[in-house]
Structure 1
């Protein structure tokens, strides 16, 4: 018999990056079909949907599937340093826990690809997978400095995040003739200096910084005219995000005009700040208290980190949604290649999610 520990171990050791989670999809599909659970997959993307129960209301539980691509022990590889392996395990554990329980309504489990790219949730929305859903629950492991081990928060108030990719387009010049071109390194430096001084209301947590830059080739006697760069923007509100993004666009135009070059910006991932629902938060709070006790119920978590989960509620405002914050002694931090957490948080989170769904369906 496959245990929750077996499931986690498999998912952890078979990590796949965004939009490549096909083997993960097949593993979950096979596991659920062996349990007699109805499963829907897609011909064009990885990911799957599973359902138990029937009728209304419909409660959905979402788990993200993708891993990060990062250097681990000197080797680049897919790595679950964001806890998505745990999220899938918790969703599967919740499904197996609910499968033999009595409840009124339907529980739909969304195993969603490409959270790290920021467009997986939007793709699931476009497929109509939450159009008839009444309540939506997500989850995320939290770093030790945010939430103590064994504690659970009924809501994670994420901020907005945007990843912007830029290209400076100009001509190369001989190293002895710097007057013949605009050095792309100088162009990027001037832009970065402006970025470092961008501000919005200081009462709103925010940051904007250049996180990638590449210019030049193997020859050091060539002044590069072209370069590429990326900018990471974070803000606690969608309004502050719009302000920062406009400042970046204005600064880019100004620097391009000054140096006489072309700078193109392309928006990559675009993750919205959370839109919370008091009823869903209260139901999650009740689930926490029933599952692990009132002392384990923590205050709401406010973080500048982002999650594409919130596109579900932005695109489908009828959804009553919240994300469970899971305290698990996660160190040294999310996205660190050597991230570890206390596995014992998984079965507790399964019970919390199970009780929350039951509270929602059988008030």
Structure 2
């Protein structure tokens, strides 16, 4: 298998290089979708795009069992060297390359018979809404096993190591507004001070107490109020809140507390405080059987000494909406050590690109392990 991967390397290096140069934010991945669709079509795959959004998927083979592999395709919008632009600082260009590499490698090896394989290129992961869209489109309705991959920062995992699961936490991204009346600096009683209300909001959020055994956090990450006139007390403000928790139950409880704080402060200060969830991700639900298939693939690829326990992280991934909304799907996500520094979402993020080929081998063997296990069980059932 390694010889075949080495044969594919030059071509996959070009694929990665091209994807890296055309980053696009969620729901705008038009060039990315077109490039992948054309590339895979030329490789002999039947490509299917989605009717009303970016992204695509490929289906191979026939059978009752469906094994799927999913990658995210969007980039982040951030300031890079003084310029705001789309940037692949979360490694989605590498994820796409690994899934394409897995498809090409399995094509060379020959897809196991009697099983359907689905390769999904999902948009808008960073917005937390791409997976939900594909669920609504019915793309996951026939999927039995689902695998994904994510590069891990060096703070979590050293280069050359891998984990058979990532326990991401849940997250919600909230946009809020305080709507009151401006006032003259000399007559504060005639208006509302949105800055003071915002300060109280921060204090109240910091005072939320939930089960200390479950990690959670909520913090204001943006607050805008007032203009250039220093003698006007601003009655209006806009703000953002980043909310995270290690499981889905805790994030629901945390958000309910935030809603209660907003309601209490709005009544206390006679203003409107509006909250809107702009995006969210679900906490991971990992299938033991899927994890075992991936664990065996990791050991077979890089050795037991390079296998590490599943990663627990407060970071979010909309991959886990698939198992939240479709509990019958057996899923896990490969955590791939690749020397990634300074960190995910850093504008200057770099990683060891050779790790992609380790990821391709692990993913391919995971899919093959799953297929073989199903074939063995089917024979026993006859």
Task: Settle same-fold status: TM greater than 0.5.
Answer: yes
Larger displacement relative to structure 2 (92-101 or 212-221): 212-221
- Where does residue 302 of structure 2 map in the other structure? 292
The alpha carbon displacement at 1:197 in A equals: 2.0
- Where does residue 379 of structure 2 map in the other structure? none
Tell me the alpha carbon deviations over residues 204-232 of structure 1, each in whole angstroms, 9 at most, x when there is no partner: 11111001111112332221111111111
- Where does residue 51 of structure 2 map in the other structure? 43
- CA distance in structure 2 between the partners assigned to 1:135 and 1:263 by the alignment: 43
- CA distance in structure 2 between the partners assigned to 1:63 and 1:51 by the alignment: 14
- CA distance in structure 1 between the partners assigned to 2:51 and 2:137 by the alignment: 12
Match of 2:257 among 247, 271, 292: 247
The answer as to 2:4 corresponding to 1:10 is no
The alpha carbon displacement at 1:179 in A equals: 1.5
- CA distance in structure 2 between the partners assigned to 1:106 and 1:141 by the alignment: 27
The answer as to 2:104 corresponding to 1:96 is yes
The alpha carbon displacement at 1:199 in A equals: 2.4
- Where does residue 302 of structure 1 map in the other structure? 312
Match of 2:234 among 221, 224, 235: 224
The two structures, once aligned, show a CA RMSD in angstroms of 1.2
The alpha carbon displacement at 1:292 in A equals: 2.2
Larger displacement relative to structure 2 (57-66 or 95-104): 95-104
The answer as to 2:281 corresponding to 1:271 is yes
The answer as to 2:116 corresponding to 1:106 is yes
The alpha carbon displacement at 1:175 in A equals: 2.5
Say whether the 8 Å CA contact 1:209–1:231 is kept in structure 2.
yes
Match of 2:90 among 82, 91, 94: 82
The answer as to 2:73 corresponding to 1:65 is yes
In the alignment, structure 1 segments of 5+ residues that lack a partner are none
Tell me the alpha carbon deviations over residues 291-329 of structure 1, each in whole angstroms, 9 at most, x when there is no partner: 222222111111111111011011111100000000001
Give the structure with the higher percent helix: 2
The alpha carbon displacement at 1:43 in A equals: 3.1
Alignment size in residue pairs? 363
- CA distance in structure 2 between the partners assigned to 1:332 and 1:255 by the alignment: 39
In the alignment, structure 2 segments of 5+ residues that lack a partner are 1-7, 374-382
- CA distance in structure 2 between the partners assigned to 1:75 and 1:125 by the alignment: 35
- Where does residue 353 of structure 2 map in the other structure? 343
- Where does residue 192 of structure 1 map in the other structure? 202
- CA distance in structure 2 between the partners assigned to 1:125 and 1:267 by the alignment: 19
Hey, which bits of structure 1, 4+ residues long, moved more than 4 A? none
- Where does residue 29 of structure 1 map in the other structure? 37
